[in-house]
């Protein structure tokens, strides 16, 4: 197998190293999120308190994407990816302290490191794909981005299930220790195998170049912020707590459902090129981004109307959210391709970092609203806000370039 890998082109080998590191990181990130939500819900924390545990995770994700893009252009994407892996190991180690030390500030600090680690890793992985695909091969670029993004989210779903399972089998600290050891091995391999000058800009970008000057990237970033805020406003805290408190589901069931949701979401992301026009020899633009965002907005609207009118509420919620996941996956994959396509090749991480800063801002807004709205008004309020956010994302998408690029 090693001999076969050595015979592959250098770009493919680097793609496999980047993807493998990204996969391993994502598995631990999904598991850690589920561990924290379920463990602290079990300890009696209120939904808003659980949401606040992730506050620094999201805030530092915003900062990291903005600064990380600039950093990646200066020192190389290999270094930013490996820094991300190392910081995640430290974040996991912080949670191995005695149970009495696991106060809210301490967990928030660990989550802050994890947020920095996650977005350094994601920005590095997404940016590197642009550099490994020829500039005139837009169809191939869309395919590679879709595979990377879709497989990552499938593994994040597996991480949700893994988190619930490990919490049941090994308890909190045992689960965290197992993940820390496994990720350390991945980190060492990445340090040894990843190309040393990947993604370093030819000229050293100045700090004030972090903010994108591209009209298309600015509009796409704004749409991305509302798109992910619309998902996380119900997904991060409200849904798992609702399933545990209203339906009486145990850790395995909650983790299993959310894992199925995210795994299905990841599979659909990988297939998105076939659903958005690639079979006809073209790749998507702003018109497709608008249409898919508008279609997505209809789903939480139908779910909340069914809940308010007591029309098969359990089936409407669970079935509706599965369909939401599939349509959201196409939106997300389409956006992920557009940002890599729009980004400038020299210093690509600057544009990608700015875009994922907006992504992290959307997650931050959605996470805080998820805990607050669920605590004061219930799941239906979270779904109404999701509808509004998606309509805003659709309107912003009207501003994106319309032209189709031939693959």
Q: What is the pLDDT of residues 298-352, one digit of tens each?
A: 999 999 999 888 888 888 888 998 899 889 988 988 887 787 777 665 556 567 7
CA separation, residue 36 to residues 30, 357, 360, 392 (Å): 10, 24, 19, 31
Set out the domains of the chain in order of their start, with CATH numbers. 8-199+209-402 (1.20.1250.20)
Q: Helix H segments across 76-214?
A: 77-94, 104-132, 138-193
CA dihedral over 306, 309, 310, 311, signed as positive or negative: negative
Q: Give residue 139's pLDDT band: very low, low, confident or very high (50, 70, 90).
A: low
Which helix (H) or strand (E) segment holds residue 75: the answer is: helix 55-75
Residues 250-273: what's their mean pLDDT? Answer: 76
pLDDT, position 269: 75
Q: Give residue 163's pLDDT band: very low, low, confident or very high (50, 70, 90).
A: confident
Return d(Cα 40, Cα 111) in angstroms, integer: 14
Decide: helix, strand or coil at residue 202. coil
- Residue 116 sits at the vertex; the CA angle it makes with 135 and 86, to the nearest 5 degrees, is 90
Return d(Cα 339, Cα 145) in angstroms, integer: 10
Neighbouring-strand partners of residue 405: 283
Return d(Cα 257, Cα 380) in angstroms, integer: 19
Residue 253: pLDDT over 90: no
Higher pLDDT, 202 or 104: 104
Residues 280-284: what's their mean pLDDT? Answer: 60
Decide: helix, strand or coil at residue 283. strand
CA separation, residue 314 to residues 241, 247, 285, 318 (Å): 15, 9, 36, 6
Which helix (H) or strand (E) segment holds residue 406: the answer is: strand 405-406
Neighbours of 10 (CB within 10 A): 9
- DSSP label of 404: P
- DSSP label of 97: S
Decide: helix, strand or coil at residue 344. coil
Return d(Cα 148, Cα 269) in angstroms, integer: 9
pLDDT, position 157: 73
Average pLDDT, the chain: 78
65 touches 356 (CB < 8 A): yes
Return d(Cα 162, Cα 166) in angstroms, integer: 6
Residues 81-89: what's their mean pLDDT? Answer: 88
pLDDT, position 34: 80
pLDDT, position 407: 39
- 159 contacts: CB under 8 Å, gap ≥ 6: 26, 27, 28, 29, 30, 31, 32, 33, 34, 259
pLDDT, position 394: 95
CA separation, residue 39 to residues 99, 251, 257, 317 (Å): 12, 9, 17, 24
- 94 contacts: CB under 8 Å, gap ≥ 6: 106, 109, 110, 113
Which helix (H) or strand (E) segment holds residue 369: the answer is: helix 348-377
Residue 30: pLDDT over 60: yes
Neighbours of 42 (CB within 10 A): 12
pLDDT, position 325: 87
Higher pLDDT, 297 or 279: 297
What tokens does 183 get?
Answer: 């990720």
Return d(Cα 170, Cα 377) in angstroms, integer: 35
Decide: helix, strand or coil at residue 398. coil
Return d(Cα 161, Cα 174) in angstroms, integer: 16
What tokens does 168 get?
Answer: 């049941």
Which helix (H) or strand (E) segment holds residue 282: the answer is: strand 282-283
Please report the DSSP string for 13-52 in residue order. Answer: HHHHHHHHHHHHHHHHHHHHHHHHHHHHHHTT--HHHHHH
Higher pLDDT, 298 or 15: 298
Q: Give residue 295's pLDDT band: very low, low, confident or very high (50, 70, 90).
A: very high
Return d(Cα 185, Cα 174) in angstroms, integer: 17
Neighbouring-strand partners of residue 283: 405
Decide: helix, strand or coil at residue 405. strand
């Amino acid at each position: 197998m090693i001999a076969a890998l050595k015979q592959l082109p250098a770009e493919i080998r680097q793609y496999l190293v980047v993807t493998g590191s990204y996969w391993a990181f994502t598995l631990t990130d999904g598991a850690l999120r589920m561990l924290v939500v379920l463990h602290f819900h079990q300890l009696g924390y209120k939904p808003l308190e659980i949401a606040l545990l992730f506050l620094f995770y999201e805030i530092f994700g915003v900062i990291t994407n903005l600064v990380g893009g600039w950093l990646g252009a200066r020192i190389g994407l290999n270094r930013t990816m490996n820094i991300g892996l190392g910081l995640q190991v430290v974040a996991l180690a912080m949670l191995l302290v005695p149970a009495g030390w696991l106060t809210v500030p301490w967990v928030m600090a660990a989550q802050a490191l994890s947020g920095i680690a996650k977005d350094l890793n994601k920005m590095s992985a997404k940016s590197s794909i642009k550099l490994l695909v020829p500039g005139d091969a837009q169809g191939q670029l869309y395919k590679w981005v879709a595979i990377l993004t879709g497989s990552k989210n499938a593994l994040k779903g597996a991480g949700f299930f893994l988190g619930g399972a490990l919490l049941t089998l090994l308890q909190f600290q045992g689960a965290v220790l197992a993940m820390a050891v496994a990720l350390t091995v991945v980190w060492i391999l990445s340090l040894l195998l990843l190309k040393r000058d990947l993604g370093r800009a030819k000229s050293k970008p100045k700090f004030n170049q972090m903010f994108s000057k591209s009209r298309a990237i600015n509009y796409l970033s704004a749409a991305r912020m509302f798109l992910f805020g619309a998902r996380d406003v119900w997904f991060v805290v409200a849904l798992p707590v609702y399933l545990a408190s209203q339906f009486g589901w145990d850790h395995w069931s909650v983790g299993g459902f959310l894992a199925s949701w995210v795994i299905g979401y990841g599979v659909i992301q990988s297939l998105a090129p076939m659903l958005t026009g690639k079979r006809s020899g073209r790749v998507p633009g702003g018109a497709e981004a608008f249409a898919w965002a508008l279609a997505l907005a209809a789903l939480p609207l139908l779910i909340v109307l069914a809940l308010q009118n007591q029309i098969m509420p359990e089936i409407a919620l669970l079935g509706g959210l599965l369909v939401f996941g599939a349509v959201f996956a196409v939106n997300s994959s389409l956006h992920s391709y557009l940002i890599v396509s729009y980004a400038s090749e020299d210093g690509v991480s600057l544009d990608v970092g700015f875009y994922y800063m907006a992504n992290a801002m959307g997650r931050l807004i959605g996470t805080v609203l998820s805990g607050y709205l669920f605590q004061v008004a219930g799941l239906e309020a979270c779904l109404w806000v999701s509808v509004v956010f998606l309509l805003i994302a659709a309107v912003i998408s009207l501003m994106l370039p319309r032209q189709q690029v031939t693959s």
